[in-house]
C-alpha cells in the first residue's frame, strides 16, 4: 500500500506540470499508480470540509467575517464581507481545436501586460485569507468586471436578502460602487477621500496575500495540503 505522503507528492508534481514518465520515475511508481494517486488526492480534497470553497449564506457567518475585517482595519470598516480581485492563471498556448471548443480565438487567452497565456480567475477571501469563492470562466484578456458579472456569486449577492444588511465586497476601481460592492475613489491624490482609499486598500490587500499563499513555494503548499488531506487519503486506501 502506497503511503499517503507519497500519493500527495505524486499529485502535486502532476499538478505542477510533471509528466507521467517523470513522476513515475521519481517516485518509483507505475503510470497506473500515478493516475490513481492523482484522482485519490482529488477525491480527498473534495471530501475535506476545511478545503471546501463556499461563500457563506448564513448572515451570522457573514457578520463574523465583517467583524474580522473590522478588527484588521485601521479605520474600523465593519461592512466588508470579503475582498475580491483577479489573478492570471498561466496556461500553455491553447491549440486551435481547444479554442474552437471554447468558441474564442487564441489571442483572447494572451495577457499583453504579463506576456503570458492564461485564464482570468476571480476570487473572494475572508479576513484570514481563506478563499470563499473562485470563478474561472474567461480567458486572460477579459475584463475583471465582465468575469465577475457573469459569475454565480454575482447573481447570488444581487438577490435580496443573500447578504446581511449593510455588508458588501471590497475590490479595486475596475468595478463601480453599488449596494453590494465598495470600490475606492478614482482620481484622488489627497484629502479625506485619499485617506479613505488608503484604508480601503488596507482591507482589500488581504486578497493579494491570499494569492501569494496560493502560489507559494511547492514545499510550503505540500506541507499544508498534507496536514489537511492525509486523513481523507488514508480512508480512501
Its pTM surpasses 0.95: no
Q: How far apart are CA 122 and CA 130, in angstroms?
A: 14
Give how many domains the chain has, as a whole number.
2
Q: Note the pLDDT of residue 17.
A: 80
**Residue 75 and residue 111 share a domain:** yes
Q: Note the pLDDT of residue 90.
A: 87
**Residue 172 and residue 80 share a domain:** yes
Q: Note the pLDDT of residue 91.
A: 87
**Residue 77 and residue 112 share a domain:** yes
CA distances from 62 to 76, 167, 173 (A): 16, 8, 23
**What is the mean pLDDT for each group of 10 consecutive residues in the chain (237 residues)?**
87 85 90 91 85 91 96 91 93 87 88 89 94 92 89 92 95 87 90 91 92 70 57 55
Helix spans in the chain (H): 4-15, 20-27, 31-47, 59-72, 96-101, 144-149, 152-157, 191-214, 218-235
**Residue 208 and residue 157 share a domain:** yes
Q: Note the pLDDT of residue 156.
A: 93
**Residue 221 and residue 208 share a domain:** no
**Residue 229 and residue 184 share a domain:** no
Amino acid at each position: 500500500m502506497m503511503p499517503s505522503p507519497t500519493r500527495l507528492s505524486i499529485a502535486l508534481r502532476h499538478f505542477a506540470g510533471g509528466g507521467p514518465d517523470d513522476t513515475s520515475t521519481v517516485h518509483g511508481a507505475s503510470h497506473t499508480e500515478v493516475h490513481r494517486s492523482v484522482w485519490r488526492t482529488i477525491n480527498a480534497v473534495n471530501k475535506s470540509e476545511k478545503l471546501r470553497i463556499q461563500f457563506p449564506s448564513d448572515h451570522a457567518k457573514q457578520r463574523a467575517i465583517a467583524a474580522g475585517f473590522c478588527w484588521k482595519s485601521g479605520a474600523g470598516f465593519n461592512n466588508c464581507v470579503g475582498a475580491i480581485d483577479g489573478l492570471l492563471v498561466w496556461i500553455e498556448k491553447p491549440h486551435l481545436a481547444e479554442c474552437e471548443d471554447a468558441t474564442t480565438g487564441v489571442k483572447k487567452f494572451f495577457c499583453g501586460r504579463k506576456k503570458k497565456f492564461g485564464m482570468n480567475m476571480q476570487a473572494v477571501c475572508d479576513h484570514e485569507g481563506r478563499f470563499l469563492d473562485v470563478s474561472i470562466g474567461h480567458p486572460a484578456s477579459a475584463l475583471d468586471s465582465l468575469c465577475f458579472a457573469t459569475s454565480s456569486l454575482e447573481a447570488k449577492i444581487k438577490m435580496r436578502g443573500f447578504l446581511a444588511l449593510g455588508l458588501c465586497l471590497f475590490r479595486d476601481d475596475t468595478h463601480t460602487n453599488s449596494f453590494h460592492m465598495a470600490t475606492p475613489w478614482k482620481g484622488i491624490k489627497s484629502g479625506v477621500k485619499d485617506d479613505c482609499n488608503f484604508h480601503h486598500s488596507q482591507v482589500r490587500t488581504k486578497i493579494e496575500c491570499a494569492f501569494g499563499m496560493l502560489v507559494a513555494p511547492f514545499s510550503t503548499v505540500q506541507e499544508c495540503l498534507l496536514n489537511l488531506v492525509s486523513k481523507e487519503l488514508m480512508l480512501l486506501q
